[in-house]
Amino acid sequence: MTKWVYSFGDAKAEGKSGMKELLGGKGANLAEMSNLGLPVPPGFTITTEACVYYYSNKNTYPAGLKAEVEAALAGVEKITGRKFGSGANPLLVSVRSGARASMPGMMDTVLNLGLNDQTAEALARSANDKRFAYDSYRRFIQMYSNVVLGVDHHNFEDILEDYKDQKGFVLDTDLGADDWIEIVKRYKVRVQEEYGKPFPQDPHEQLWGAIGAVFGSWMNARAVTYRRLHGIPESWGTAVNVQAMVFGNMGEDSATGVAFTRNPSTGKKEFYGEFLVNAQGEDVVAGIRTPQNLTKIAREEAHSDKPSLEEVMPQTFGQLKDIFAKLEKHYADMQDIEFTVEKSKLWMLQTRSGKRTAKASLRIAVEMANEGVITKEQAINRIEAGALDQLLHPTIDPKAERKVIATGLPASPGAASGEIVFSADEAESAKGSGRKVILVRVETSPEDIHGMHAAEGILTTRGGMTSHAAVVARGMGKPCVSGAGSIRIDYGAKTMTVGPVTLKAGDIITIDGAQGQVLAGRVPMIEPELTGEFATLMEWADKVRKLGVRANADTPADAKAARNFGAEGIGLCRTEHMFFDDDRILAVREMILADDVKSRRKALDKLLPAQRSDFIALFETMKGLPVTIRLLDPPLHEFLPHTDKDMAEVAASLGTDVKKLAARKAELSEFNPMLGFRGCRLAIAFPEIAEMQARAIFEAAVHAGKTTGAPVVPEVMVPLITTKAEFDIVKAHIDAMAEAVQAETQTKIEYQVGTMIELPRACLRAEEIAETAEFFSFGTNDLTQTAFGISRDDAAIFLNTYLTKGIIPIDPFVSIDRGGVGELVKIGVERGRKTRPDIKLGICGEHGGDPASVAFCHETGLNYVSCSPFRVPIARLAAAQAALGKDLVSEA
Amino acid sequence: MTKWVYSFGDAKAEGKSGMKELLGGKGANLAEMSNLGLPVPPGFTITTEACVYYYSNKNTYPAGLKAEVEAALAGVEKITGRKFGSGANPLLVSVRSGARASMPGMMDTVLNLGLNDQTAEALARSANDKRFAYDSYRRFIQMYSNVVLGVDHHNFEDILEDYKDQKGFVLDTDLGADDWIEIVKRYKVRVQEEYGKPFPQDPHEQLWGAIGAVFGSWMNARAVTYRRLHGIPESWGTAVNVQAMVFGNMGEDSATGVAFTRNPSTGKKEFYGEFLVNAQGEDVVAGIRTPQNLTKIAREEAHSDKPSLEEVMPQTFGQLKDIFAKLEKHYADMQDIEFTVEKSKLWMLQTRSGKRTAKASLRIAVEMANEGVITKEQAINRIEAGALDQLLHPTIDPKAERKVIATGLPASPGAASGEIVFSADEAESAKGSGRKVILVRVETSPEDIHGMHAAEGILTTRGGMTSHAAVVARGMGKPCVSGAGSIRIDYGAKTMTVGPVTLKAGDIITIDGAQGQVLAGRVPMIEPELTGEFATLMEWADKVRKLGVRANADTPADAKAARNFGAEGIGLCRTEHMFFDDDRILAVREMILADDVKSRRKALDKLLPAQRSDFIALFETMKGLPVTIRLLDPPLHEFLPHTDKDMAEVAASLGTDVKKLAARKAELSEFNPMLGFRGCRLAIAFPEIAEMQARAIFEAAVHAGKTTGAPVVPEVMVPLITTKAEFDIVKAHIDAMAEAVQAETQTKIEYQVGTMIELPRACLRAEEIAETAEFFSFGTNDLTQTAFGISRDDAAIFLNTYLTKGIIPIDPFVSIDRGGVGELVKIGVERGRKTRPDIKLGICGEHGGDPASVAFCHETGLNYVSCSPFRVPIARLAAAQAALGKDLVSEA
C-alpha cells in the first residue's frame, strides 16, 4: 500500500534527505534535520505522489490520505502537547508547498492555520498576549481567504487602511488588541460578502482547504511559467509540509533569522546572516525593520549599534554555531538556514544548499576540498562553469547605485564606462588621444572592427546574442550590450535618445554586458582576479578533463590572452579580420576590383607581407602550439565601403571610377549573404587568394619555427565545404604552395589541411570529405543557422518570442541544439571517423565556450573545443565536469 | 584466357548487339548487322577490356592482343581477297574508336590506313584512278600524322594552300594526280621535319600506331570533359574498330549517305536522309556540296532538281528499304544509318538508335506501340520526360532566323515576342490596351507579380534558374530568360544596352526561355499540341504510375491550367501571391503597420472577403480534388514599397507618416530574409494572420462544397517548421477557427493540418512533428538552400563555375541532390512514418517537375509530387517511368 504521509519531529523522522523526489526539498531536509537530532518543530509531509495522484484523478485525494493525515496530526499533537482546534491549548500549523526543485515564491503558503474565534482566545491566554493572538488571527484570515478562498488581498488592505484612517493610526504597531479584534470582525464580514459563505471555523476544514490550495498552486500561471523557464517537468508535482507553528514574535526572548554557514558573497568561512528580535520570518524579508547581525565581528565591521545575536542571545548563538557546523559537515556544502527562537527556545525551520556568487562558489569549493570535507572532483562539480564568466571581466561594484536608462541583451560580459562615440573612426581617434569610449551603433559590421578594438565596450540597438557586435565583442573580451531597441540613434545629430532622455557624443555612460544594462554616468568597478582559488581549481580541472581547449584568436593580442587563460592552441584564426586594417583594406579593395587574374595577383602581392607578419606574430606567440587558420570566409562585398561619401573616397584613392566601384559592388551584393558567394566558393573562383594566404602561412611557419625553435605545424582550414570536390580543388592549391615554399626555403614544412563542417550537407557527406580532409572543425554557428533556417543577425525579432513561449528551451546559438544540430554533428563525427579513424575533430563555434555544449562535445568524442579567449576557463572547467559525468545539460 | 578481339563480316560475327559494354556501341552494332546478313565491310573490334588493361598497365597491351589482331586481320584479308600492305591488291582499313556510350567527335579516327608509297601505286592501278589513290594517300598522311604523330594540321594546310597559290588553283578539285603526288612528297618532308622521323611506311606499324592513338584519345581533354558532363565513367574505356575501307568516291556508280528510318523531326513514318554521288562520308557532313534526297517524294516536297537515290540508284534504294525495315524491326526503334555504295555495291557502315525531337519521339513511340513493335511500357520509357517541356509551350520555329543579342539562363521554357517594358505597371497598362510586352527587369520581386501576369515573357539581368523571376515564370508557364548579365538596364532612360546595341521601351524583342536567348525583333513561333500521341501516351503513363501528381497553383487560372495538364489536386497554393493584388496590398500594408492586435485585426478583416473568394474560386475549379494551402510565408518587408516615391505614395494612401512607414520598414529589414522572420514565425508572432487565413479557407470550403456538390477537404499547411512546439501553437489557432466556422455555418468541415518540411532540423525531428502533423510536404527548394548553404537568388555568380568545373554534376535546385538533400528527405520520411504510418507525404519544390527527382520521390515512397502546372505532364510521365524502373538518374 502506498504511504502518502511522512512524519518528522522529536529527533526522528520517517523521511530523510535522499527522498527529495518523494518529499520535496523542504520536506526531505526537515526530516533529515530531525534525524540529526536538531530542534525541528514537528510536522509531516504529504508526498509528491499524492499530488500526482490528485492531478491524474480529477483533483481527488487518494483513499488512504485522510486517515494518514489524521494519524500524523495526532503525532504532532502528542509531541507538542497541544491539540488542533482545542479551546485550551491549541495547535497551530503552517502549510507549505515544497517541490523537488526550489521554486521560490511560486506556490502558496498558509501560516497560523487552526485559528478560529475559539482558538484565538485560547492562544491569547496561553501566550498571555491578546494583541499577538488577534494579530495572528487576522493575518491568518487574510492569508487563508486569499490563498484558499480566492478573496482578493485588496479587500483586507482596504479595511485595515480605512480603520487606521478612522482612528488616526499610521503604523500597524499603533493598533492594539481591541483594534485587531475589530479588524477580525470586519474581515469575517467581508469574507462572507465576497466568498458567499462564512470564514471556516473548523480547523480540519481549514487544513484540507489549505492542502488543496497548495496542490492547486502547482498549476497556477506563475508556477507553470517558472517550470517552463527552468525545465522542471510538470509531472513531478509538489509535496505539502504541515508543521507546528513556532513564533519568533512572542516577546524580547523570541527572534527569527536567516543565516549562511559561510559568506555567500565572498565565500569566506564566517557565519553570515541576520535576525530580528520579537519578529516573524516575513518581517526579516519585508525590510521594515533593520535586521541585526549574527556575529559580533560582523556588527563591528558594519559599524552597527544594534547588538548581534552573539551578544544578546549568547546561548542560542552557541547552539546555532554547533548546528551550523553539524549541518555543513553533514551536507558537505554551505547551508542556507532559517531559524526561530520562541521564548529562548531555538527551532530550525529550514536548511538547504545556499546560493552564492561565482566568487564565493570558487572559494568555498576549494576551501572545502582543502578542509577534506569534499573531494577535488566534488569541488570541480560544485562550480557552475558558466558563472566563471563573472570572474573574468571587470564588473560593476555590487554596492554601486545603478541608474538604468535602457536594457538590451547581455551580449558580452563585463562592464565598462566611457564617452559615447557613434563611429569606429571617432572611437579610434579618441583612443589615440587617451580617452575611453563606448562605441554606440545601430549595428556593427566588419568595417567597425578597429573602432571596437579602440572602444572599452560596445552598445548596439539592433541584433541578437550572436550578432556581429556580440560575437566580435565576446571574442575580444569586451563588454557588449546588443539590441537595446528602445534607444534611437541619430548619427547626423550625434545623439541617442531613450524616451525623454537624449544623450550626445561625449556624454559618459556605463554598460553592463553581463546584465544587458545601459547606465547613466560612470559607475565604480571591481577588477577580476585570476589567481588563488581560481588557479587552483583550474589546475584540478585540467587534470580531469579529456577534451582539449583551444581559443578563437585572430591577433597576437588575442593569442596572448588565450594563453593567459590556458588555451592549448588556436582553434580558429579568422584571417579576414586582418584584411580590415587601414594599411591593407585598400589592397583588398584593389583585389576585389581587379578585372583579371594578373591584376588580382598584383593586389594580393601587396597583402602578402602583411599577412605573413600577422601569422609570424601569431605563431611566435603560440610557440609551437597548434594553430588552425581559416582561409578568407566572408563575401567580398563586406570589404567595400557603404556610404556614398566613402565610395567616392575609396574610388579616388584607388584611382578608379566611382561608377566602376559601384557596379562591382552591385554585382557582388547579395540577398542572403550568409548563403552566398563566400567561404571556399571564393577560393574556387579566385584561387590566387587562397594561394596568397597559403604562402603567407607557410612562409610564416618556416620563419617562426626558426625564431622560436619550436616547429610550427599549421592547420589550414577551408571554410564552407559541401562536397569533397570543392575541398580537393582548394587543397591542391594549398599543397602546391606548401611545395613551392618548401623548395624556396629548403625547409620541410609539416602541415595539415582540413575543413570547417558548418553546413548540413557537409555532415551528411563527411565520409567522402574525410578521404582527403585531415581534420574537421565543426562550425556550429553556421550549422545552427542552416539547420534551423535562422539568420542569427535577424533572429532577435522572433527568437525572444520563441524563448518566452517555451517553443525552444534555450537560444540554440548560445547552447547547442542536441536534437537537431547535435545530431548533424554526431553524423559528421561518425562518418568522418569511418573513413579516417584518427581524424582530428574540434568545434570552433560560439558553442565552444558554453558548458552544456562542451558536455555535448565530450560525449560526442571530439578532440577539442575552441572558444573566445575569455571563455577558455569556462570550457576547461566544463570539460572537466563533463569528464566527471556532471549533468551540464539539465543545468543549462 | 581473355578474348581481346572480335571479328565480323561476311554475314557472321563473333559479337552481337548485346555486347556493347565489351565492344562499344559501334562494334556491337557492326557485329549485329553482320549477324543479320547485311553487307558490312569486314573487320574486327578490339575490346574495351583491352583499353582498360592498357590504362591499368602503364599503357601496354595485353599479351595475346598482337596475335589476335593479326589473326583477325588475316580473316579480313580472306573475305576481301585483298592483302594488307600488298603491292598488288592492298587492303586498306579504317581505325575508329567506339565506346559504350556515344561520344560524338570526342575521340580519334584514322581512315585509308595501309597506304604507303607502294600500296598507293597499287590502289591507283586497282581503282584505275591515280588521282583518287594519291588524294587518299595525302589525306591519310595528314590524318595519321595529326592523330598519331602529333604533327599539327596547319602544317599540311599551309603546304596545300602554298601549292594552290603557286599553281593558281582555287579548289581542291583543281588538283590532278600529279599535283597530289607532289603534295604527298612535300607532306612527307614536313613530317620528317616536325616529327623527326620519316612517315611510317610499314602498314603494321601504322596500324599499331593508330590503335594506340585511339586508346590514347580516351584520355584527351575533350573526352575527359565530355565524360564528366555526361556522367560517363572513365573506367569504361573505349573499343577500337578496324574495318576494311570501302569508297563512295570511286565514280558515278559510287555514293555515300546517311538515313533515318523515320522522320527524326516529326516522327512521321517515312525514310529520311540524304546522299552524295561520288563522295566520301565526310563530304556529306562538310556541306560543300548540296546532298540529294533519298526518296522521290522528299525530293518533290523540297522542290529539288537533283534526283533522289530512289531515282538514280533504284536497285540500291530497294535494297536499303528492305534493310531499313529489317533493322527497325530488329532493334525495335527508329535507326540512324550510314551507308556507302562502292561501284554499285551497297555497304552498311553503321546503325544506331536515331536522335529525334521530343515531338518525333512521342509519335514514334506511340506508333510503334500501336504497330506492335514495342509494348506500351516500352513506349513510355522511350520518351525523355524532361523533353516534353518543348511540347507544352510555344516555341520558335526551327526554320526562323535567330538574331541573338544576348544570352542568359533558360529559366522557363517557351518563347514569346513583345514590346520591351521596364516596369510591372507599364506591363499591366500595355496589356490593358491590347499590346503584348516582355517585362525586362534587373530582377523581379513579389511586387512585380501583376506585371509578370500581364507580360508574355520575362527577361532579367540578375538571378539564377531558381530566382524569383524564374520560379514564378515557370509557375505561370511563361517563358523567362534570367541572369542575362551582359545586358545593362537604365530604368531612368528606359533603355537596355548590350555592347554597342541600345534598345528602348517599345522596341520588339523575342525571348527563347528554353535556350536562354534574347533575340532582336519578332520571330515566328510554333504552337503546342496536347492531343493525339501526347494524350495517348499520358493515358498509358497514368495507368502505370504509383505517384500522385499535383500542381502548385495560386490562382483559379493556374488551377485550370493544372487540371488541363492532368493534375490530381493542388499540392501548394501560396497565399501570399494573393496579397499583392492592387485592391489588397493596401490592407496588407495597413496590417503590417498596425501597432496592436486590434488594429491588425481590423486590417485583416478587410482582407478576409478577398481571401475567401480566392479560395472559393480555387475550390470550385478543383471540384473536390485535394487542395493544400500554405499559410503566409514571406517576410513582411516584401510587402512594403521599395522606392522613396512609392513610400510617400503608400504613406499618403494609408494616411500615415512616411517616417513611421520607414521606421517599420527598417525594423523589418533583414540581412538574410531567407533565414528570417517568415513562415510559421509570422503566425506565432501574429496569430491573427493565421486565423484570418484559416477562416477564409474554412468558409470557402463550406461554400464551395455547396456550390459544386463535391465536399472540399482543405489541407492547411504551416510553413518553415523546425519544432513540434511551433507546429502545435499554429495548429491550435487553425483548429479553433475550424470549430468556430463549423459552429457558425452548422456544417461539418473535414480538413487536415500539416506542415512543409523544408529545413534540415525538421527532417531530423520528423518523428515528433508527425505526432500532430497530418501530412508533410517536402519543400526541397529551401531544403536545398539550407543543406548546401546556398541562396538560390545569389547562386548564379558561383554555381556556374561549380557546374563547369564538375564540382557538382547538376544544379541541385534543378534536380534533387540525392547525397545530401535526398538523405534529409529520406530521414524525414522514415521518421515521420515511424510515428504516423499513414502520414500523407508529398514534395512541392521545383523538383516535383524534374524527372530524376520524381524518380527519387517514387523510390522514397512519397505519395505525390507537386509541380508547376506546365510540368505536370512531365511529372506524370516520369512517375510512370520510375514505376517501370527506368533509370532516370543517370539520364539526368
pLDDT digits (tens, 9 = 90+) for B172-223: 888 999 999 999 999 999 999 999 999 999 999 999 999 999 999 898 888 8
SS (H, E, C) A602-618: HHHHHHHHHHHHHHHHH
In the stretch 725-744 of chain A, residues with CB closer than 8 A to chain B read 725-726, 729
Q: What is the pTM of this model?
A: 0.82
H helix or E strand, kind and range, residue A534: helix A532-544
| Phi and psi angles of residue A482, each rounded to the nearest 5 degrees, phi first | -115, 160
Which pLDDT score, from 0 to 100, does residue B84 have?
Answer: 96
| Minimal Cβ distance to A673: which of B672, B761, B787 | B672
Which pLDDT score, from 0 to 100, does residue B797 have?
Answer: 82
* Burial degree of A283 (CB within 10 A; 0-12, 13-18, 19+): middle
Mutate to test the interface with B, among A462, A764, A782, A801 (most CBs of B within 10 A): A764
**Distance between CA atoms of residues A764 and A823, nearest Å:** 10
Which residue in B480, B573, B763, B844 is the catalytic one? B844
Residue B417 is placed in which grid cell?
Answer: 515576342
Residue B106: CA count within 13 A, CB half-sphere:
22
Cβ–Cβ below 8 Å for B674 and A675: yes
The owner of cell 547626423 is A492
Q: State the amino acid at position A378 in one-letter form.
A: Q
pLDDT in tens, B355-410: 888 889 999 999 999 999 999 999 999 998 988 887 888 889 888 889 999 998 88
Residue B50 pLDDT more than 50?
A: yes
| Minimal Cβ distance to B722: which of A782, A788, A806 | A788
Coil, helix or strand at residue B628? strand
Cβ–Cβ below 8 Å for A684 and B782: no
The owner of cell 566588419 is A446
Q: What percent of chain A has pLDDT over 70?
A: 98
H helix or E strand, kind and range, residue B798: helix B796-804
Residue B63 forms contact with A (CB below 8 Å): no
Residue B225 pLDDT more than 80?
A: no
Which pLDDT score, from 0 to 100, does residue B474 have?
Answer: 78
Rounded to the nearest angstrom, the minimum Cα separation between B587 and chain A is: 23
Cβ–Cβ below 8 Å for B764 and A819: yes
| Minimal Cβ distance to B677: which of A668, A761, A797 | A797
Cβ–Cβ below 8 Å for B670 and A794: yes
**Distance between CA atoms of residues A211 and B192, nearest Å:** 113
Which residue in B393, B468, B733, B847 is the catalytic one? B468
**Distance between CA atoms of residues A325 and A318, nearest Å:** 11
Contact list, B805 vs chain A (CB under 8 Å)? 684, 725, 729
Residue B790 pLDDT more than 60?
A: yes
Rounded to the nearest angstrom, the minimum Cα separation between B807 and chain A is: 5
**Distance between CA atoms of residues B19 and B1, nearest Å:** 18
pLDDT in tens, B808-829: 988 999 899 999 999 999 999 9
Span B558-577, average pLDDT:
93
Residue A467 pLDDT more than 80?
A: no
| Minimal Cβ distance to B684: which of A675, A801, A821 | A801
**Distance between CA atoms of residues A724 and A726, nearest Å:** 5
Span A360-381, average pLDDT:
95
| Minimal Cβ distance to B685: which of A667, A789, A801 | A801
| The dihedral formed by the CA atoms of B11, B14, B16 and B19, expressed in degrees to the nearest 10 | -160
Q: Name the residue among A587, A555, A539, A549 with its Cα closest to residue A476.
A: A555
Contact list, A729 vs chain B (CB under 8 Å)? 805, 807
Asked if residue B695 lies in contact with residue B670, where contact means CB atoms within 8 angstroms, the answer is no
Residue A817 forms contact with B (CB below 8 Å): yes
**A-B contacts at Cβ under 8 angstroms:** 170
Residue A624 forms contact with B (CB below 8 Å): no
**Distance between CA atoms of residues A236 and A289, nearest Å:** 38
B480-482 and B409-412 beta bridge pairing: antiparallel
**Distance between CA atoms of residues B533 and B529, nearest Å:** 10
Contact list, B760 vs chain A (CB under 8 Å)? 760, 786-787, 820, 824
- Quickly list DSSP for A14-30: S--GGGHHHHHHHHHHH
Contact list, B758 vs chain A (CB under 8 Å)? 789
> Highest mean pLDDT: which of A252-266, B264-278, B847-861?
B847-861
Mutate to test the interface with A, among B671, B728, B788 (most CBs of A within 10 A): B671
Cβ–Cβ below 8 Å for A793 and B671: yes
Give this complex's ipTM. Answer: 0.81
Which pLDDT score, from 0 to 100, does residue B892 have?
Answer: 43
Span B739-757, average pLDDT:
97
| Minimal Cβ distance to B723: which of A671, A785, A807 | A807
From residue A705, alpha-carbon distances to A64, A382, A621, A625 in Å are: 79, 42, 11, 11
Residue B526 CB neighbour total at 10 angstroms: 16
Residue A677 forms contact with B (CB below 8 Å): yes
Which residue in A393, A453, A468, A637 is the catalytic one? A468
Residue B279 pLDDT more than 60?
A: yes
Is A844 catalytic? The answer is yes
Residue B216 is placed in which grid cell?
Answer: 590514347
Residue B527 CB neighbour total at 10 angstroms: 7
The owner of cell 608509297 is B117
Q: State the amino acid at position B33 in one-letter form.
A: M
Residue B785 forms contact with A (CB below 8 Å): yes
**Distance between CA atoms of residues A553 and A570, nearest Å:** 6
* Burial degree of A445 (CB within 10 A; 0-12, 13-18, 19+): middle
H helix or E strand, kind and range, residue A155: helix A153-167
- Using a CB cutoff of 8 Å and minimum separation of 24, what contacts does A597-605 make? A597/A688, A600/A686, A600/A688, A600/A689, A601/A688, A601/A692, A604/A688, A604/A689, A604/A691, A604/A692, A605/A692
Q: Name the residue among B77, B100, B71 with its Cα closest to residue B6.
A: B71
Which pLDDT score, from 0 to 100, does residue B146 have?
Answer: 92
Q: Which residues pair with B550 in a beta bridge?
A: B866
Find all residues with CB under 8 Å of B786, minimum gap 6, and list them.
A675, A760, A786, A787, A789, B675, B758, B759, B760
Give residue A822's pLDDT band: very low, low, confident or very high (50, 70, 90). Answer: very high
**Distance between CA atoms of residues B557 and B554, nearest Å:** 8
B48-56 vs B203-217: helix axis angle to the nearest 10?
Answer: 80
**Distance between CA atoms of residues B192 and B185, nearest Å:** 11
Residue B193 forms contact with A (CB below 8 Å): no
Residue B622 pLDDT more than 70?
A: yes
The owner of cell 542571545 is A313
pLDDT in tens, A669-701: 999 999 999 999 999 999 999 999 999 999 999
Rounded to the nearest angstrom, the minimum Cα separation between A501 and chain B is: 20
Give residue A892's pLDDT band: very low, low, confident or very high (50, 70, 90). Answer: very low
Residue B233 forms contact with A (CB below 8 Å): no
Contact list, B720 vs chain A (CB under 8 Å)? 789
B752-757 and A415-421 beta bridge pairing: unpaired
Span B537-559, average pLDDT:
95
From residue B149, alpha-carbon distances to A246, A840, B46, B106, B154 in Å are: 112, 50, 21, 18, 14
Residue A891 pLDDT more than 60?
A: no
**Distance between CA atoms of residues B325 and A77, nearest Å:** 114
Residue B684 forms contact with A (CB below 8 Å): yes
Rounded to the nearest angstrom, the minimum Cα separation between A671 and chain B is: 7
Q: State the amino acid at position A231 in one-letter form.
A: G
Residue B676 forms contact with A (CB below 8 Å): yes
Q: Name the residue among B326, B337, B397, B385 with its Cα closest to residue B358.
A: B385
Residue B292 is placed in which grid cell?
Answer: 540529294
Cβ–Cβ below 8 Å for A819 and B759: no
Q: State the amino acid at position B147 in one-letter form.
A: V
Residue of B nearest to A768 (CA): B819
Give residue B412's pLDDT band: very low, low, confident or very high (50, 70, 90). Answer: confident
Rounded to the nearest angstrom, the minimum Cα separation between A231 and chain B is: 15
SS (H, E, C) A85-102: CCCCCEECEEEEEEECCC
Mean of pLDDT over chain A: 92
Q: How many helices (H) and strands (E) does chain B have?
A: 35, 34
Q: How remote is the C-alpha of A748 from its chain's centroid?
A: 48
Cβ–Cβ below 8 Å for B677 and A794: yes
Residue A279 is placed in which grid cell?
Answer: 519578529
Asked if residue A769 lies in contact with residue A755, where contact means CB atoms within 8 angstroms, the answer is yes
Rounded to the nearest angstrom, the minimum Cα separation between A467 and chain B is: 11
Residue A315 is placed in which grid cell?
Answer: 546561548
Mean of pLDDT over chain B: 92
Which pLDDT score, from 0 to 100, does residue B567 have?
Answer: 96
From residue A128, alpha-carbon distances to A82, A125, A326, A542, A765 in Å are: 16, 5, 35, 64, 83
Residue B288 pLDDT more than 90?
A: no
Span A137-162, average pLDDT:
93
Find all residues with CB under 8 Å of B798, minimum gap 6, and list them.
A677, A681, A684, A685
Residue B475 pLDDT more than 80?
A: no
Which pLDDT score, from 0 to 100, does residue B590 have?
Answer: 92
| Phi and psi angles of residue A238, each rounded to the nearest 5 degrees, phi first | -120, 155
**Distance between CA atoms of residues A41 and A76, nearest Å:** 9
**Distance between CA atoms of residues B887 and B854, nearest Å:** 11
Helix, strand, coil percentages (3-state) for chain A, rounded to 5, are: 50, 15, 30
B658-668 vs B582-593: helix axis angle to the nearest 10?
Answer: 80
Residue B650 is placed in which grid cell?
Answer: 503608400
Which pLDDT score, from 0 to 100, does residue B485 have?
Answer: 86
Asked if residue B443 lies in contact with residue B556, where contact means CB atoms within 8 angstroms, the answer is no
pLDDT in tens, B123-147: 999 888 999 999 999 999 999 999 9
Which pLDDT score, from 0 to 100, does residue B286 have?
Answer: 58
Q: Name the residue among B504, B499, B505 with its Cα closest to residue B484.
A: B499
Is B468 catalytic? The answer is yes
Give residue A288's pLDDT band: very low, low, confident or very high (50, 70, 90). Answer: low
Mutate to test the interface with B, among A637, A667, A722, A726 (most CBs of B within 10 A): A722
Coil, helix or strand at residue B850? coil
Which pLDDT score, from 0 to 100, does residue B483 have?
Answer: 87
Find all residues with CB under 8 Å of A178, minimum gap 6, and list them.
none
**Distance between CA atoms of residues B476 and A305, nearest Å:** 87
Span A787-805, average pLDDT:
88
Q: State the alpha helices, DSSP H only, in B836-892.
A: 851-860, 872-883, 888-891
DSSP B146: I
H helix or E strand, kind and range, residue A331: helix A314-331
Contact list, A824 vs chain B (CB under 8 Å)? 760, 764
pLDDT in tens, A630-677: 999 999 999 998 888 888 988 888 888 898 888 889 889 999 999 999
Q: By mean pLDDT, which of B499-508, B668-677, B880-889 is the weakest?
A: B880-889
The owner of cell 565491310 is B41
| Minimal Cβ distance to A790: which of B667, B675, B806 | B675
